[in-house]
Amino acid sequence: MDEQLATDHLDVRWIHGSASRRRRTDPAWQVHHHRDDTVILRQSKDDTYEAPFTFLLFGADRAFLLDTGATKDVGLGHIVDALVDGWLAEHPASAYQLVVAHSHGHGDHVAGDATFADRPGTTVVGKTADDVQAFFGFTSWPDEVVGFDLGDRRLELMGLPGHHAASIVVYDERTGLLLSGDSVYPGRIYVTDLPAFIDSMNRLVAFVEARTVTHVLGCHIEMTTRPGRDYPIGCRYQPDEPPLEMTVPQLRDLRDAAVSVADRPGPTRFDDFWIVNGMGLRSQAPLIARGLLGRAVDLVRRR
């Protein structure tokens, strides 16, 4: 791992929506250079309450984009084009590739895929667990750790089902960043398959204990800075967000929390996140939809 690595908080204040709906103050995407080879982007809450984060990592031979956001517009495509051009101006390479992959297949992470479909030199990985396994060469999903080389920059991927069947975690050896999708983040962790999720978390804890992890970066922020207090579902303005980055101890806490709700369907509040256990609820099918799960959280909170 590189020496220049900082292990303290990311030096950034994220866009978090506009105080007035009539006067927009956020750009469509915030572009944060964590380093010259590592870009973290956040989509505006003015465009989508999900306000997901996406990640662009540059290697010598190809760039890797994880997730394409929650809207169909072409904005992210133009931003990525400009970022790749900027990278190539400093680091000339011929036949430079772009691989577009997903933390998982939910709509708020894949909606921008079409923007990249016709881009030259670009591969968009499919959304299903089968697509992910075929592209990255998994032969023993989900517990196998698979390497993916960007050119002098190796990523490690592992299946992480539980929130979604095609969830993966991506570890970047160069920066020590662990990209955890919707499985680990400061918000409401929706679990549709709790046994799979607990297995995933146990494997993830073992994974991080064998590596140096600088930050655990998920794809949303839904908590406030007050322990256990989240913003309401659909909230468009979140001035008191905690940092996106989480720590390995928090990851262990989440694993322990998941084990503790094994017999408790529905939402349970913890200091740094909620877990919404969709298992065992009367009708699971509708609960797979985020919005309905969210309503369940709201009802419990109002009680």
Number of residues that bind Zn ion (CB under 5 A): 3
37 binds Zn ion (CB under 5 A): no
In the bound state with Zn ion, the residue whose beta carbon lies nearer, of 52 and 59, is: 52
For residue 266, give the H/E element and its range: strand 266-269
Q: Nearest to residue 179, comparing CAs of 77, 252, 102, 250? A: 102
Q: How far apart are the first and last CA of the chain?
A: 48
Nearest distance in Å: CB 60, Zn ion: 31
Cβ-proximal residues to 216 (8 Å cutoff; 6+ apart), any chain: 178, 180, 184, 208, 245, 246, 247, 248, 250, 251
In the bound state with Zn ion, the residue whose beta carbon lies nearer, of 84 and 191, is: 191
Nearest distance in Å: CB 188, Zn ion: 10
In the bound state with Zn ion, the residue whose beta carbon lies nearer, of 103 and 214, is: 103
Nearest distance in Å: CB 77, Zn ion: 20
DSSP H helices, 30-119, are: 75-90, 107-110, 114-117
Gyration radius of the chain's alpha carbons: 18
In the bound state with Zn ion, the residue whose beta carbon lies nearer, of 48 and 202, is: 48
In the bound state with Zn ion, the residue whose beta carbon lies nearer, of 77 and 218, is: 218
CA distance 98 to 112: 15
In the bound state with Zn ion, the residue whose beta carbon lies nearer, of 182 and 272, is: 182
108 binds Zn ion (CB under 5 A): yes
Q: In this chain, which of 102, 106, 188, 203 binds Zn ion, going by CB under 5 A?
A: 106
Nearest distance in Å: CB 6, Zn ion: 27
Nearest distance in Å: CB 7, Zn ion: 26
Residues of this chain, 177-216, that bind Zn ion according to CB under 5 A: 182
Residues of this chain, 129-188, that bind Zn ion according to CB under 5 A: 182
46 binds Zn ion (CB under 5 A): no
Q: Nearest to residue 251, comparing CAs of 217, 298, 221, 302? A: 217
Nearest distance in Å: CB 213, Zn ion: 21
**Which spans of this chain sit near Zn ion (rule: CB under 5 A)?**
106, 108, 182
